[in-house]
């Protein structure tokens, strides 16, 4: 006879992962194309808005010579975005990732087709007119919308649509930064809500295919190439801990600034459609005093990592970017968070380098940059690999690990939610980012079942059972039902309290037996079966209890479970997590 163990596996995976992976490869290629279009569109709008020419050449708004007119450009961009959100789709507001989370949590991973067009267009307008945002958030949202749209054309479960949506999102990030591994880690740490091969295999294929296409479209090599640092010494690693803690404090401060700004905008006596224009005014004023706060700022990040920006300018970039970015993002305009976090983190690290006697400014800028991202997004492993793929500086890995974990520790102890999940929570949703093994997947029925089973003789009349029930002397008082057995003790059925009550309403109830009133062919489970399988049987058959029988002889009753026994598995997990047992008694151990 086939054993239960023959059907148990480490992972839940079937051949559909092959078709999903094939589809994900195509989505990865398309997402890379979308990323290329969006980046070119941003440059086109930047050239038109700040330089008055029709070109897609890579230029920073900081290089323009508009003078005070630089204040007007972001305001116009904000007006356009407000109208697009008001009369197009409100889902284009925000920085992309919370919107993708919301679609996964409550939208069954379905996004409207118009979001696929309006999100990148609104982001291009926002960033192209000077918005201090990154392009990665909107591309993640756009890639996710593309994946969701394609998935809806096929027959898929909600979980499979989620996989395809996240595959598109990861591919978008991979295409922008050339960071395929970090994109997969971001998907696992933030979007998938699980660590299962059925989901991350297609996501990995999408991310890798987008990275492969990125080379011909956007160029190969690291986005921020740096001179590789030598292996980090013990004293340097000790300092990375401090740098990480400071970055964690900065992460918490930035998160609070963004949502304080959002709360402030909600108090304005104006429709939210006008808020991006007000945010644009703030961007313009900030850009007038510190032009390097405008736009994506990849060139500024590269300059900080190379140590080419002096201290006064670093302070201006850090303070100016933090104020402008938080206020503008709080206005509900469209733009990403990764690039600004990288810039502010790098500027903070470069400033700290002036107080650190070891290492060079580029090293501390890189470490702080990753820690700021890891702490703010609470995705430390994504931040570590992201920094490595951006710079190809592998020797900094130990320092990145220490700093990113330290930053996350600070923000987790300080705040209940991150900059991404706070927005989701404000929309009435809740998610947890702690992934663990479901105890139903590990415990077996034999561990939780009742072995001293009280049964009912199948020939007992309903009248007799009713009298026993009235005297509170039967098994219904505790278990709401019981197995029925014949004269030889073999299982022949199950009688529930509902069965008894229905039988009592019948005119022939006095002569009716328990077997006639109950279920003759009950759903059963086995002692070696996983609790998960028994719970599925209960749900699918709408029953609250199951007899436990021998696999070789299903008439032999060996136990019984109901909902209370099922919860014992949860109780064991709770005790393992929270029950603090006493210290080891050495004297008792010796005796």
The whole-angstrom separation of Cα 169 and Cα 139 is 7
Residue 200 CB coordination number (10 Å)? 21
Question: What kind and span of H or E run contains 546?
Answer: strand 545-549
Q: How far apart are CA 229 and CA 231, in angstroms?
A: 7
Q: Phi first, then psi: give them for residue 220, nearest 5 degrees.
A: -95, 175
| DSSP-assigned beta bridge partners for residue 165 | none
CATH number, domain 234-426, options 2.60.40.10, 3.40.50.300, 1.10.3080.10, 3.40.50.11540: 1.10.3080.10
* 552 or 586: which leads in pLDDT: 552
Reported as a single tens digit per residue, the pLDDT across 528-573 is 888 888 899 988 988 888 999 998 888 899 998 888 878 877 777 7
Put simply, whether the predicted model's pTM sits higher than 0.85 gets the answer: no
Tokens of 53: 């020419």
Domain 439-577 fold = CBS-domain (3.10.580)
- Is 130:70 a contact under the CB 8 Å cutoff? yes
Most confident of 197-201, 379-383, 559-563: 379-383
Fold of 16-58+65-218: Clc chloride channel (1.10.3080)
CA distance 90 to 82: 9
pLDDT digits (tens, 9 = 90+) for 318-370: 999 999 999 988 888 877 788 889 999 999 999 999 999 998 999 999 999 99
Element (H, E) at 535: helix 531-541
Q: How would residue 3 be classed by pLDDT, with cut points 50, 70 and 90?
A: low
CA geometry: angle 370, 374, 380, nearest 5 deg: 105
**Bridge partners for 530 per DSSP:** 444
Angle between the N-to-C axes of helices 234-266 and 338-352, in degrees from 0 to 180, rounded to the nearest 10: 130
Q: Is 457 exposed, middle or buried (0-12, 13-18, 19+ CB in 10 A)?
A: middle
Question: Residue 477: what pLDDT?
Answer: 46
- Tell me the domain boundaries of the chain: 16-58+65-218, 234-426, 439-577
The proportion of the chain whose per-residue pLDDT surpasses 90, expressed as a percent, equals 31
pLDDT, the chain, mean = 84
**Domain 439-577 in the same topology as domain 234-426:** no
Choose between 174 and 151: higher pLDDT: 174
Both tokens assigned to 340: 């600004």
For residues 105 and 116, give the distance between their C-alpha atoms in angstroms, rounded to a whole number.
Answer: 19
Alpha helices, DSSP H, located in 71-196:
72-87, 97-106, 113-128, 136-151, 158-177, 180-186
Distances (CA, A) of 565 to 365, 523, 568: 55, 16, 5
* pLDDT score of 144: 76
């Amino acid at each position: 006879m086939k054993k239960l163990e023959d059907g148990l596996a480490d992972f839940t995976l079937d051949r559909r992962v092959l078709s999903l992976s094939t589809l994900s490869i195509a989505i990865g290629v398309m997402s890379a194309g979308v990323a290329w279009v969006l980046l070119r569109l941003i440059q086109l709008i930047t050239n038109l808005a700040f330089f008055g020419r029709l070109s897609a050449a890579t230029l920073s708004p900081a290089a323009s010579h508009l003078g005070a007119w630089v204040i007007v450009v972001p305001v116009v961009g904000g007006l356009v975005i407000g109208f697009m959100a008001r009369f197009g789709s409100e889902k284009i507001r925000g920085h992309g990732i919370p919107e993708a989370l919301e679609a996964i949590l409550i939208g069954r991973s379905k996004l409207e087709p118009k979001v696929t067009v309006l999100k990148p267009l609104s982001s291009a307008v926002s960033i192209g007119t000077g918005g201090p945002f990154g392009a990665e958030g909107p591309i993640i949202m756009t890639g996710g919308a593309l994946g969701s749209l394609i998935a809806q054309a096929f027959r898929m479960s909600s979980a499979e649509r989620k996989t395809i949506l996240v595959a598109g999102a990861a591919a978008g990030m991979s295409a922008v930064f050339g960071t395929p591994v970090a994109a997969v880690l971001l998907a696992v740490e933030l979007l998938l809500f699980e660590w299962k091969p059925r989901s991350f295999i297609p996501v990995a294929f999408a991310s890798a295919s987008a990275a492969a296409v990125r080379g011909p479209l956007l160029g190969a090599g690291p986005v921020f190439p740096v001179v590789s640092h030598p292996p980090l010494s013990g004293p340097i690693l000790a300092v990375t801990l401090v740098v990480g803690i400071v970055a964690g404090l900065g992460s918490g401060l930035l998160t609070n600034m963004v949502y304080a700004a959002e709360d402030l905008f909600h108090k304005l006596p104006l429709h939210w459609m006008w808020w991006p224009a007000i945010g644009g005014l703030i961007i313009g004023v900030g850009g007038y005093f510190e032009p390097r706060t405008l736009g994506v700022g990849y060139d500024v990040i590269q300059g900080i990592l190379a140590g080419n920006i002096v201290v006064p300018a670093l302070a201006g970039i850090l303070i100016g970017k933090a104020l402008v970015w938080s206020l503008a993002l709080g206005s509900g305009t469209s733009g990403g968070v990764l690039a600004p976090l990288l810039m502010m983190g790098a500027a903070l690290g470069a400033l700290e380098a002036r107080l650190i006697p070891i290492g060079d400014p580029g090293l501390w800028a890189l470490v702080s940059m990753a820690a700021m991202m890891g702490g703010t997004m609470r995705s430390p492993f994504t931040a570590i690999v992201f920094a490595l793929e951006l710079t190809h500086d592998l020797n900094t890995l130990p320092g990145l690990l220490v700093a990113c974990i330290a930053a996350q520790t600070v923000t987790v102890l300080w705040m209940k939610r991150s900059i991404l999940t706070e927005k989701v929570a404000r929309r009435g949703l809740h998610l947890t980012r702690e992934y663990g093994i479901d105890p139903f997947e590990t415990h077996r029925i034999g561990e939780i079942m009742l072995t001293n089973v009280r049964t009912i003789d199948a020939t007992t009349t309903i009248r007799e059972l009713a009298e026993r029930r009235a005297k509170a002397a039967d098994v219904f008082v505790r278990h709401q039902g019981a197995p029925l057995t014949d004269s030889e003790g073999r299982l022949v059925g199950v009688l529930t309290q509902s069965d008894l009550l229905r039988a009592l309403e019948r005119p022939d109830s006095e002569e009716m037996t328990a077997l006639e009133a109950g279920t003759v062919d009950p759903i059963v489970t086995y002692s070696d079966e996983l609790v998960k399988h028994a719970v599925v049987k209960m749900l699918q058959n709408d029953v609250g209890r199951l007899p436990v029988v021998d696999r070789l002889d299903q008439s032999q009753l060996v136990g019984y479970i109901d909902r209370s026994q099922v919860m014992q598995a949860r109780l064991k997990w709770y005790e393992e997590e929270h029950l603090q047992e006493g210290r080891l008694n050495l004297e008792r151990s010796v005796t």
